[in-house]
């Protein structure tokens, strides 16, 4: 019954749309054939609506191709438009009329005698006696059985045709995928370049300065040793301090390239370490986490590190949750009950996450309505 009801709703919406398409058909055809942008945009909107309608009914989305801008790309949409305009109304009315006829036939015995004698209830035969009326529910049963099969079949056929015409052809999917991969390769190169520049800056501005300081101190020690060796000891200690300082800086740079804790404790252990240092009480849930390539684990680690820094710095949250799930893709979710309003354009951290993740052909989404909560969800394909 539910299947018939869903099919009736689907077909009714299709009938209304088909009727409107039919009225607009001549104008649309002419305007699309001369490739008027407004008509093409209207066609794209109509097919998007149809995709949503079919996806809701069948539970399977129809993939959308890149927006077409030429007639060559649009002909499948146009064939659907013409086909739906010409057949949608008839198919819809037939699919909806069957169950309605079943209901009507069952009700006829209750009201046939109200009809005037010269204009009796006459579907499909004139009902002029109680015997005639008594047969109607039997006929209703026949209609009901027929519509139980025919109405969902009509809806499925209409949905199937729409899916066939409105899905991008396999070649287009492939072309789209190539475009996506080209973009992600460009993002990978860009991220790699940015990373190299950052390491170069860190080594140049920080580590190098600290080593220069060590060299300077050693120069002073040398001169002191020549003049008066007794005064050299405190200077040696200073040089030693400067060397320790330089070493600490160097360790910092190494950690920012690939945190050694990842090798030692794995991603879950490393993230647990980050959480232990987070000012907001945070829980960690790990489900079926496998080992991923070093670059992916490192990206995941930096994503969590940035997300937790944001939670501590901006959210005002009382509670935070980090979830790590799966191996391919590796899914990272960071949830906080703070004030929300995270905005990618407000700084560099979230954009950095986007760029890092795009380099792996992954996705990052942030959902942060005003008033919270904030959820950052990142999917990182493993590449294996």
Q: What does the binding site for Mg ion look like in residue numbers (CB under 5 A)?
A: 310, 349
**Span interacting with ligand ADP, options 83-91, 222-230, 288-296, 338-346, rule CB under 6 A:** 338-346
Among 144, 67, 69, 78, residue whose Cα is nearest residue 106: 144
341 interface partner picked from ligand ADP, Mg ion, none, CB below 5 to 8 A per type: ligand ADP
- Contact between 354 and ligand ADP by CB under 6 A: the answer reads no
Instruction: Please report how close the Cβ of residue 198 comes to ligand ADP at its closest, in angstroms.
Output: 15
**Helix boundaries (H) for the chain:** 2-33, 37-58, 71-111, 130-166, 170-202, 208-227, 232-257, 260-276, 294-310, 349-358
Instruction: Please report how close the Cβ of residue 312 comes to Mg ion at its closest, in angstroms.
Output: 10
- What DSSP letter does each residue of 211-243 carry, written as one string? HHHHHHHHHHHHHHHHH-GGGHHHHHHHHHHHH
Alpha-carbon span 166 to 378, nearest angstrom: 30
Q: Which of residues 293-312 bind ligand ADP (CB under 6 A)?
A: 310-311
**Span interacting with ligand ADP, options 43-51, 53-61, 162-170, 331-339, rule CB under 6 A:** 331-339
In the numeric block, the tokens 């991969």 are attached to: 181
Which two three-digit tokens encode residue 338?
Answer: 């703070």
Alpha-carbon span 216 to 227, nearest angstrom: 17
Alpha-carbon span 5 to 148, nearest angstrom: 10
- Contact between 137 and ligand ADP by CB under 6 A: the answer reads no
338 interface partner picked from ligand ADP, Mg ion, none, CB below 5 to 8 A per type: ligand ADP
Nearer to ligand ADP, 147 or 310 (CB): 310
**Span interacting with ligand ADP, options 46-54, 115-123, 172-180, 346-354, rule CB under 6 A:** 346-354
In the numeric block, the tokens 């959308």 are attached to: 64
User: Which of 8, 102, 127, 350 is close enough to bind ligand ADP by CB under 6 A?
Assistant: 350
Nearer to ligand ADP, 182 or 348 (CB): 348
Nearer to ligand ADP, 168 or 340 (CB): 340
List of residues 6+ apart from 99 with CB closer than 8 A:
4, 8, 143, 144, 147, 151
Nearer to Mg ion, 340 or 349 (CB): 349
- Contact between 364 and ligand ADP by CB under 6 A: the answer reads no
Nearer to ligand ADP, 88 or 338 (CB): 338
Cα 192 off chain centre by: 25
Q: Cis peptide leading into 124, omega within 30 of 0? A: yes
Instruction: Please report how close the Cβ of residue 275 comes to ligand ADP at its closest, in angstroms.
Output: 15
180 interface partner picked from ligand ADP, Mg ion, none, CB below 5 to 8 A per type: none
By the 10 Å C-beta count (0-12 exposed, 13-18 middle, 19+ buried), 102 is classed as buried
By the 10 Å C-beta count (0-12 exposed, 13-18 middle, 19+ buried), 13 is classed as middle
- Contact between 281 and ligand ADP by CB under 6 A: the answer reads no
Nearer to ligand ADP, 96 or 304 (CB): 304
Alpha-carbon span 187 to 351, nearest angstrom: 12
- Contact between 356 and ligand ADP by CB under 6 A: the answer reads no
What is the binding site for ligand ADP (CB under 6 A)? 310-311, 313-315, 336, 338-343, 346-351, 368, 374
């Amino acid at each position: 019954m539910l299947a018939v009801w869903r099919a009736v709703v689907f077909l009714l919406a299709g009938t209304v749309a088909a009727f409107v398409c039919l009225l607009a058909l001549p104008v649309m055809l002419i305007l699309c054939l001369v490739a008027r942008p407004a008509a093409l945009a209207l066609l794209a909107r109509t097919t998007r609506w149809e995709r949503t309608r079919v996806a809701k009914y069948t539970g399977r989305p129809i993939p959308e191709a890149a927006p077409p801008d030429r007639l060559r790309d649009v002909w499948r949409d146009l064939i659907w438009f013409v086909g739906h305009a010409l057949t949608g109304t008839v198919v819809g009315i037939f699919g909806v009329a069957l169950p309605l006829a079943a209901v009507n036939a069952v009700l006829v015995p209750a009201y046939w005698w109200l009809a005037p004698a010269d204009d009796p209830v006459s579907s499909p035969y004139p009902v002029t006696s109680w015997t005639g009326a008594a047969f109607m529910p039997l006929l209703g049963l026949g209609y009901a059985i027929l519509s139980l099969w025919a109405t969902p079949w009509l809806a499925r056929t209409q949905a199937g045709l729409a899916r066939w015409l409105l899905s991008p052809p396999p070649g287009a999917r492939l072309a789209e995928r190539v475009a996506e991969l080209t973009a992600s390769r460009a993002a990978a190169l860009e991220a790699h370049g940015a990373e190299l520049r950052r390491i170069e800056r860190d080594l140049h501005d920080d580590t190098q300065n600290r080593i220069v300081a060590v060299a300077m101190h050693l120069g002073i020690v040398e001169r002191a040793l020549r003049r008066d060796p007794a005064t050299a000891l405190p200077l040696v200690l200073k040089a030693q301090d400067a060397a320790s300082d330089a070493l600490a800086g160097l360790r910092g740079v190494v950690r920012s390239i690939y945190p050694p804790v990842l090798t030692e404790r794995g991603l879950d252990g490393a993230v647990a370490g980050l959480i232990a240092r987070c000012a907001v009480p945070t829980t960690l849930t790990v489900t079926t986490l496998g080992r991923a390539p070093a670059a992916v684990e490192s990206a995941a680690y930096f994503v969590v590190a940035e997300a937790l820094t944001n939670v501590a710095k901006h959210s005002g949250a009382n509670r935070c949750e980090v979830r790590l799930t799966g191996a391919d893709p590796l899914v990272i979710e960071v949830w906080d009950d703070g004030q929300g309003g995270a905005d990618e354009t407000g700084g560099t951290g979230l954009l950095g996450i986007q760029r890092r993740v795009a380099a792996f052909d992954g996705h990052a989404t942030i959902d942060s309505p005003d008033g919270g909560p904030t959820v950052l969800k990142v999917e990182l394909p493993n590449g294996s």
